[in-house]
Structure 1
């Protein structure tokens, strides 16, 4: 039998809200006194452990009134019913890797932690995996290790499942299988009316699209059923370079070439640069991946020495997929406040006049701007500034559409690079300084892309923002195609007519 329609769900949500009686209650007290759901209070060990799981100390320093730890979708439904009888703001946390305060953290209201929704169940008959949002991706890869299968997920093992999938999710497997979200075949979702539904292309097609890049605007996902892909040994690791003018130019050119003339869909890279306080470290760190025990000759030559630069250190080797993503956890720097931002840029179309030189000119301008802003805050205690150049070749966009689409709806007109940058620092009191630096960084990136487009150096292109890397001030939904933004708003109004998720949780809102 076909599941409820969105109209039916909306009517049910309105009825439940109208039927709620009595004065507003404290959700923590209600759950603690009427259910068996674990309620973690401040000063308890469990509370402190949950708060320490955030990557950013900015989020860890926020103090929820309690932490609710449901173990089933039914328990999440009970919590939502309690929220409907309250006016408290709240938050939902998967892994806690997003550094934006109030996205998965809260000051003074209840926090719903999904840490006990940690199922990983492989079904070889259907070649799917059911994954709870409380997992991190190294939990998933560890559970699947040795089965011959994997799921498309985070490039760093410590990234949480829920946030990555609801934001789209870049993966080292994306040029083979699209966004991580493109691989979801069903969402188990608790709606704003506290009902539990299974959302698929067949049952709720618009909601299914909206969840793939729509963040936390439509409900609480309690399980994802995703495609399982055959997986054997992989090759990969890190290359470390000292930053010099020669190295900067060579690696930016290599990143451009790798994106524009994508050598092999099984190959993937992240090209990153980093500066630290008072310039004590100025380096490049490369993440290389090949989905096979050994990459074919030539695939990574531009990074391993053929471009005229030689890495100081090379950790690349043949290993299991689980060992690879777990090893990347070294890149997670906890114990600091940190911020994140993004921008999307096109590359000149292949075949256009001097496309290679033009593409390099733009990337060097972007890189120079990042360095200039970074240098302006290097005296902030403990500051670490980094930038990542993430290839988004047109093949990726074609795959995403062929696998059912998503809220981004990238076209394959141009090759793109997704820029991601971070500022990590020690003292919360320095946030206003770093906040301005973040705005200056992505604003300068955008200004340069617009200027080069007007000059005809870059093609006019659709350039949405990658939600997983977005800063809280950036207009994620405003950068989507108009029809995609309208779809998201229509679905939100249907499943959450009274604004439970819109008005009482943080995150990017429609």
Structure 2
């Protein structure tokens, strides 16, 4: 297994798919514009109805699909394939022009690849293309009384969540969202399409489960489904007057014998602050009807795309002292550092990762996240900020970084820090993926 992974990494290191990890940003920028123009020109000639240039409505829409205004792209062109065959035909053109894709030159958007069907080889597996949101998947499965362990927010895309691992409503029973994938359809840099599963390309199968999008273009996910009936679901918000009782309830939920040990329950505890006026709320969501909650969170308050956003992950053990440290550190700092940031709000999410969650992950074959069940339970904390003006980017970034560093130092001193870093919830200068690969090799 070790030699196989080394071979996989060696092959990938020479491919276009990971060129962005190996080339200096300045080199990409200088070579990318020229190569991008050449690639876009040839793609426009071969696929005139699928290629879009700046100042077109489709170009603007596709390049503005990312979840935050801080992630907006300015590619030379947008290529909008409707199936894997079109991507396979486009890759040689992009490769010949030496144009990095999905960086600054050619944006390949799979937004139109939205096929949903049950697998011919087993009706218990749902075959999902990457252009779907989880709402589309859930709406398709609900009439059959089925669910999958997908995203908790309806507007989240399928591919990004599954390649990053994925937190779902059923994770204490089914592990990370990626653990529900039984097979990937993957396009490699040479345009070949391979089916990747536990027996075919097993190293690549492992790497795709939480290893992000560095190993190929995934054009289909085959997911395990589960039967689901009625359940309780609700979103509850309290004002700051209930803070003490709210944290008492959270600590009780996380304590041995508490709700965290119930594999049929899930919770998303969040504390929210508006630094400009000091408005402070505590939010708890309990999972029930899986479609209801996903749709309830699909509103601008939770799913705005017209704001600037930043996520910063910091983990700890589920100890009341660690929870108190995180809460005071983030919000005491935010009240000072972010008070004059226009349109700013900041939240701290205390996501429990249970021992049963990690046991389910191992039982389903493991993944690139590679956590031992003895690592649980712990809290995968998340500092999430939204704001309006680009001029405030560095202020928000520095506040989040300093808060996370402070929490880490304080919890380490008490033996309460947990080293887990969720790769999809990290800013530009933290990269847990390298540590995953090194540890595996």
TM over 0.5: yes
Structure 1 contact 13–192 (Cα < 8 Å) conserved? no
CA offsets per residue over residues 14-50 of structure 1, 9 Å max, x none? 7999xxxxx9562211111123560122221212222
Structure 1 contact 259–393 (Cα < 8 Å) conserved? no
1:344 matched residue in structure 2: 315
1:112 matched residue in structure 2: 108
Separation of aligned partners in 2, 1:77 and 1:233: 43
Residues 1:368 and 1:28: Cα distance change in structure 2 (over 3 Å): same
- 3-state SS of 2:357 partner: helix
Separation of aligned partners in 2, 1:89 and 1:471: 21
| Greater CA drift, 336-345 or 324-333 | 324-333
Kindly report which structure 2 residues correspond to 1:331-370, keeping only aligned pairs within 5 A, or say none.
331-347=302-318, 359-370=319-330
Note the residue ranges of structure 1 that are not aligned, 5 or more in a row: 18-22, 92-105, 291-318, 348-358, 487-510
2:402 matched residue in structure 1: 440
Post-superposition offset of 1:66:
1.3
Post-superposition offset of 1:470:
1.8
Structure 1 contact 465–479 (Cα < 8 Å) conserved? no
Note the residue ranges of structure 2 that are not aligned, 5 or more in a row: 18-33
CA offsets per residue over residues 363-399 of structure 1, 9 Å max, x none? 1011111112221212101111011000111111111
Q: Which has the higher helix share?
A: 2
Separation of aligned partners in 2, 1:65 and 1:258: 54
1:283 matched residue in structure 2: 281
Kindly report which structure 2 residues correspond to 1:75-114, keeping only aligned pairs within 5 A, or say none.
75-91=86-102, 106=103, 108-114=104-110
1:163 matched residue in structure 2: 160
**Aligned with residue 420 of structure 2, among 454, 464, 467:** 464
Post-superposition offset of 1:202:
0.6
Residues 1:121 and 1:383: Cα distance change in structure 2 (over 3 Å): same
Post-superposition offset of 1:52:
3.6
Kindly report which structure 2 residues correspond to 1:185-200, keeping only aligned pairs within 5 A, or say none.
185-200=182-197
Post-superposition offset of 1:259:
8.7
Kindly report which structure 2 residues correspond to 1:307-326, keeping only aligned pairs within 5 A, or say none.
319=289, 321-326=290-295
Separation of aligned partners in 2, 1:45 and 1:339: 27
Separation of aligned partners in 1, 2:354 and 2:426: 20
2:297 matched residue in structure 1: 328
Alignment coverage as a number of residue pairs: 415
CA offsets per residue over residues 281-327 of structure 1, 9 Å max, x none? 2101111113xxxxxxxxxxxxxxxxxxxxxxxxxxxx5x3233122
Structure 1 contact 6–204 (Cα < 8 Å) conserved? no
- 3-state SS of 1:26 partner: helix
Q: CA RMSD in A?
A: 2.7
Separation of aligned partners in 2, 1:421 and 1:145: 32
Kindly report which structure 2 residues correspond to 1:380-391, keeping only aligned pairs within 5 A, or say none.
380-391=341-352
Structure 1 contact 259–391 (Cα < 8 Å) conserved? no
Structure 1 contact 259–392 (Cα < 8 Å) conserved? no
Separation of aligned partners in 1, 2:360 and 2:159: 22
Structure 1 contact 259–417 (Cα < 8 Å) conserved? no
**Aligned with residue 220 of structure 1, among 217, 221, 237:** 217
| Greater CA drift, 385-394 or 82-91 | 82-91
Separation of aligned partners in 1, 2:438 and 2:182: 25
Separation of aligned partners in 1, 2:232 and 2:395: 40
Structure 1 contact 252–363 (Cα < 8 Å) conserved? no
- 3-state SS of 2:367 partner: coil
1:372 matched residue in structure 2: 332
**Aligned with residue 46 of structure 1, among 52, 58, 64:** 58
Structure 2 contact 130–157 (Cα < 8 Å) conserved? yes
CA offsets per residue over residues 323-351 of structure 1, 9 Å max, x none? 3312211221332111111022123xxxx
- 3-state SS of 1:222 partner: strand
Residues 1:169 and 1:9: Cα distance change in structure 2 (over 3 Å): closer
- 3-state SS of 2:297 partner: helix
Residue 431 (str. 1) matches residue 400 (str. 2): no
Separation of aligned partners in 2, 1:178 and 1:467: 16
**Aligned with residue 474 of structure 1, among 418, 430, 434:** 430
